[in-house]
Structure 1
């Protein structure tokens, strides 16, 4: 299976809702995904209705060398989550950006056979470039980049392009796919951003658009993914189509 870092170097582009809803789409297709909340803001953890102690989160992996497999919580929607905690913000001070520290997550996933299992893994990243986000990029096979239909989000995607190019020069090439999030049909800015992303990224830009949706927002407020909150909504359909496109293009590999 594939390890996917969900990342953009701008906050507020929907990384967390993308991770939660794409994982839910996978679960509905019998893929039993593992999700790692690697953002100290812990929004994905909160959205899942969890308020764990720091010792039961991914912070304990970095602080106490707790195996990742011991930190997994199974959610009601069949998604397995390694939660986060605000203490995770200390990791950037605890560790350095040397290769050994940045490879800790990748090595642990390999040692615990998470990287080679039949389970897809999604990593919800923080928007800042530091130990956590670089660790996620090094552990990942591919990078999924949500871009909201606004100009500043495109700038964040461009900054990420430079980061990925820097990794590639060190022999760490990571394919990426960009998709437009919170798209508003017929809105001038949405149309201009979509056109520019198509021009800039070509085949690496997803055909699927995730539309602006009240269902997603209300689902977050109810600690539910959109499939649990509004299974017949357009948003649930959007994320189903996005998953289908990522699998059909070979970006996400699944075991048949």
Structure 2
């Protein structure tokens, strides 16, 4: 299966909702995904309705060498989640950007056979390019980049391009796919951003456009993914199509 880092160096582009809803789409297709909340804001954890202690979260892995498998919580929608806690913010101060520290997550996933199992893994990254995000990029096979239909989000994607180029120069190439999020059909800015992303990324830009969706927003407010909240909504349809495209293009591998 594939380890996917969901990342953009701009906040507020929908990384968490994309992670939650793609994981839910995978679960509905019988793929038993694992989501890892690697953002100290812990929005993915909160969206899942969990309020764990720091020792029950990914913070314990970095701070106390807890096993990743001991931290997994199964959610009602059959998504497995390793939650986060605000204490995770200390990790960037506790660890360095040495290769040993940055490989800690990658090595643990290999040792616990998470990277070679039938389980797809989605890592919800924080927008800061520190130890946490670099650890996710090191552990990931591919990077999925949500870009909201606004100009500043494209700047964040461009910054990420530079980061990925730096990894490639070090022999750590990470393929990426960009998709437009919160798209509004016919809106001038949305159309201009979609055109520019198509021009800039070509085949690496997803055809699927995830539209601005009230059902997605209301689902978040109810601690539910869009499939649990409104399975027949346009939002659910968009994330289903996005998953289909990512699988059909080979970006996400299904099976060993």
TM-score by length of 2: 1.00
Local SS of the residue matching 2:255: coil
Deviations along 1:118-143, one digit per CA (max 9) or x if unpaired, are 00000000000000000000000000
Q: How far off is 1:255 after superposition?
A: 1.3
Deviations along 1:74-96, one digit per CA (max 9) or x if unpaired, are 00000000000000000000000
Deviations along 1:118-174, one digit per CA (max 9) or x if unpaired, are 000000000000000000000000000000000000000000000000000000000
Local SS of the residue matching 1:66: coil
Measured in 2, the distance between the counterparts of 1:28 and 1:15 equals 20
Structure 2, unpaired ranges of 5+: none
Measured in 2, the distance between the counterparts of 1:186 and 1:38 equals 35
Q: How far off is 1:193 after superposition?
A: 0.1
Local SS of the residue matching 2:122: strand
Measured in 2, the distance between the counterparts of 1:31 and 1:141 equals 17
Aligned residue for 2:85?
85
Measured in 2, the distance between the counterparts of 1:28 and 1:209 equals 20
**Is residue 166 of structure 1 aligned with residue 174 of structure 2?**
no
Measured in 2, the distance between the counterparts of 1:40 and 1:241 equals 30
Measured in 1, the distance between the counterparts of 2:7 and 2:64 equals 26
Local SS of the residue matching 1:250: coil
Structure 1, unpaired ranges of 5+: none
Deviations along 1:52-92, one digit per CA (max 9) or x if unpaired, are 00000000001110000000000000000000000000000
Local SS of the residue matching 1:161: helix
Aligned residue for 1:217?
217
Q: Following superposition, which runs of at least 4 residues in structure 1 exceed 3 angstroms of deviation?
A: none
Question: How many corresponding residue pairs?
Answer: 256
